[in-house]
């Protein structure tokens, strides 16, 4: 359970974990450190899920490397070609922090539903286990968002877990088509109003409400995208707190 007994989700627009992350030697990436701090434990148990990348082993190794200087207990749930544990529910509900990596959000959520992981994650959220993720791992908690799950051209995704209200758009500053598409999808009602985050920024949701936008680099921002009475999209920059 989180340190304050509340439900926490950290939806990250983009994060670097590998050798190019630009962090000082021996330092944990700021977003991971912040997510871990929400558990209130000096050595949290983190379970990593990389279903969105087809359980790419390299993605898990990057996470292990990012946390190699800590005493965190790192485990993973892989579902390809079959689940790596006999009881995914026991694994996930015994974690302090669940981190979901990027890739195809549509494929990920479909596979989760086949294995019942969607229901387990909902129980984890209700139990106060901290949930965090990047890109696909950020969109999934909402009703939908913008995705390249269906091909190189971005398209709407409207079949998220719906634990958090509204929609979400990652990579808002780094992929030129993300911002205009997200605004147009909100304007025409394909997606409900939602939150967009640049790479290096994250939306921190406590219970059912956006608590703050945090960023691990200067200039990274978060935005509220809404639909005005005349049907046009509106974009409001949100206050940002620097971390790390």
Residue 171 annotated among the catalytic residues of the structure = yes
Of 135, 149, 167, 204, the active-site residue reads 135
CA 70 – CA 155 distance, rounded (Å): 39
Residue 8 annotated among the catalytic residues of the structure = no
For every residue of 134-189, DSSP letters joined together read ETHHHHTTSSEEEE-TTSSS-EEE-----SSSSEEE--TTTSTTHHHHHHHHHHTT
Taking the CA atoms of 132, 135, 141 and 142 in sequence, report the sign of the dihedral they define: positive
CA 237 – CA 223 distance, rounded (Å): 5
Q: Rounded to 5 degrees, what are φ and ψ at 91?
A: -60, -50
* Partners of 195 in the β-ladder: 168, 224
Of 53, 149, 171, 204, the active-site residue reads 171
Return the closest-CA partner of residue 225 out of 209, 211, 237, 208: 237
Look at strands 73-77 and 45-49 and give their pairing: parallel
Kindly list the catalytic residues: 135, 171
């Amino acid at each position: 359970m989180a340190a304050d007994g509340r439900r926490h989700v950290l939806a990250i627009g983009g994060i670097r974990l590998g050798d190019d992350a630009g962090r000082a030697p021996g330092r944990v990436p700021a977003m991971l450190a912040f997510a871990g701090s929400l558990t209130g434990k000096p050595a949290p148990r983190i379970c990593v899920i990389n279903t969105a990348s087809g359980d790419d082993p390299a993605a898990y190794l990057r996470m292990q490397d990012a946390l190699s200087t800590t005493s965190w207990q790192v485990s993973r749930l892989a579902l390809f070609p079959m689940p790596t544990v006999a009881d995914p529910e026991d694994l996930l509900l015994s974690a302090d922090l669940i981190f979901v990596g990027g890739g195809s959000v549509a494929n990920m959520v479909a596979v989760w539903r086949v294995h019942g992981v969607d229901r387990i994650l909902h129980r984890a959220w209700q139990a106060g286990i901290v949930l965090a993720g990047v890109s696909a791992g950020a969109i999934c908690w909402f009703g939908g968002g913008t995705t390249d799950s269906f091909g190189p051209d971005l398209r709407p995704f409207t079949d998220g877990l719906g634990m958090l209200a509204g929609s979400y758009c990652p990579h808002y500053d780094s992929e030129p088509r993300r911002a205009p598409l997200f605004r147009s999808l909100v304007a025409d009602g394909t997606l409900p109003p939602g939150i967009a985050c640049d790479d290096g920024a994250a939306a921190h949701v406590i219970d059912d409400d956006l608590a703050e936008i945090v960023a691990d680099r200067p200039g990274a921002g978060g935005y509220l995208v809404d639909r005005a009475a005349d049907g046009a999209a509106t974009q409001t920059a949100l206050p940002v707190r620097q971390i790390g």
